[in-house]
Homo-oligomer: A and B are copies of this chain.
Amino acid sequence: MPAPDLRPLLAFAETLASVARPLARQHFRALRAVETKADRTPVTAADRAIERALRERIAAAFPAHGVLGEEEGPDRPDAEFVWVLDPIDGTKAFASGNPLFGTLIGLVHRGTPVVGVLDAPALGERWSAARGLGAHHGGEPLRVRPGRPLGDAVLYCTSPDSLLLHAGCRRLRQAVAWTTWGGDCIAYGLLARGGADLVVDRGLKPHDWCALVPIVAEAGGVMADWQGRDLVLHGDGAVIAASCRGLLDAALPLLATPDNA
């Protein structure tokens, strides 16, 4: 079976990002209400409006494709192509007027993420990539920075919950130059454009990471689970991104430190 032509699918993903951006901007710093979901995470009218608009566009253009989104149930999750959507990644930031949030649009082909767009509406920045076609940011090719020793590496973690209490994370934090907190999807975007060396998160859902895999990979980095395996839709949600294989290989044994070490 020939590999699918990803060009029109990447162009369509960018169109979706352009549908989402004005909706996000319209609600940013103008929210009237923030609801808390059953899992104690927030959701806003913007999350729901964006996901609805993107699903409508996908259903019209590619009725055979599946959709996994953060806010609504799965639709044809076993289709050959599945769009994986996070209308607002970083809803806590979004809801407090902090511009570090993004819309994530991923496309998975037979289980492999092949197209990814990260659009940051309040920053006016966009990262996009497709397997074999490179990664771009504002029209320029994206490139991670050159590899460096773990002791000089800059680590991003979105949230310290569980991470600070996890022995492996504590060891990794002690080994790097410094750690910066927060950022959600933007942290992966910073890594892809050469601003950071490692991002570590736990408890992620596919909509949090699918779009980021092609971006990081095509920029020259690598994303994996904490055992170094390719990320899969039914994995455990532990994710690491590294600017090079050497840093990944240096970080994984530290993350594997048992909690009673």
If over half of A's interface residues share one DSSP class (helix, strand or loop), that class is named, otherwise mixed; here it is: loop
Neighbouring B residues of A181 by C-beta, 8 Å: 158-160, 181-182
Neighbouring B residues of A96 by C-beta, 8 Å: 154, 156, 180, 190, 195-196
The answer to whether B164 and A92 touch across the interface, beta carbons within 8 angstroms, is no
Neighbouring B residues of A99 by C-beta, 8 Å: 99, 123
The answer to whether B180 and A93 touch across the interface, beta carbons within 8 angstroms, is yes
In whole angstroms, what is the CA distance A182 to B98 when docked? Answer: 10
Q: Confirm or deny: A228 has a beta carbon within 8 angstroms of a beta carbon on chain B.
A: no
Give A123's nearest chain B residue, CB to CB: B99
The answer to whether B95 and A98 touch across the interface, beta carbons within 8 angstroms, is no
The answer to whether B100 and A100 touch across the interface, beta carbons within 8 angstroms, is yes
| Range of interface residues on A (Cβ < 8 Å) | 20 to 34
The answer to whether B178 and A92 touch across the interface, beta carbons within 8 angstroms, is yes
Q: What 0/1 pattern do residues 179 to 194 of A give for CB contact below 8 A with B?
A: 0111100100010011
Give A196's nearest chain B residue, CB to CB: B96
The answer to whether B164 and A98 touch across the interface, beta carbons within 8 angstroms, is no
Q: Name A19-38 residues within 8 Å CB distance of B.
A: 29, 36
Q: A92 with B180: in contact, given A99-B99, A164-B160 (CB under 8 Å)?
A: yes
Q: Name A100-125 residues within 8 Å CB distance of B.
A: 100, 123
Q: Confirm or deny: A165 has a beta carbon within 8 angstroms of a beta carbon on chain B.
A: yes
Q: Confirm or deny: A234 has a beta carbon within 8 angstroms of a beta carbon on chain B.
A: no
Q: Name A27-62 residues within 8 Å CB distance of B.
A: 29, 36, 40-42
Q: What 0/1 pattern do residues 125 to 169 of A give for CB contact below 8 A with B?
A: 000000000000000000000000000001010111000110000
Neighbouring B residues of A165 by C-beta, 8 Å: 164
Q: Confirm or deny: A97 has a beta carbon within 8 angstroms of a beta carbon on chain B.
A: yes
In whole angstroms, what is the CA distance A159 to B181 when docked? Answer: 7
Neighbouring B residues of A95 by C-beta, 8 Å: 154, 195
Q: Confirm or deny: A250 has a beta carbon within 8 angstroms of a beta carbon on chain B.
A: no
Q: A190 with B97: in contact, given A178-B92, A181-B160 (CB under 8 Å)?
A: yes
Give A180's nearest chain B residue, CB to CB: B92
Give A182's nearest chain B residue, CB to CB: B182
The answer to whether B42 and A190 touch across the interface, beta carbons within 8 angstroms, is no
10 nearest interchain CB pairs? A182-B182, A97-B195, A160-B160, A181-B181, A96-B195, A181-B182, A92-B180, A164-B164, A96-B196, A97-B190
Known: A93-B180, A100-B100. 13 other contacts (CB 8 A): A36-B177, A36-B178, A40-B178, A92-B178, A95-B195, A96-B180, A96-B195, A99-B99, A158-B181, A164-B165, A180-B182, A181-B181, A181-B182
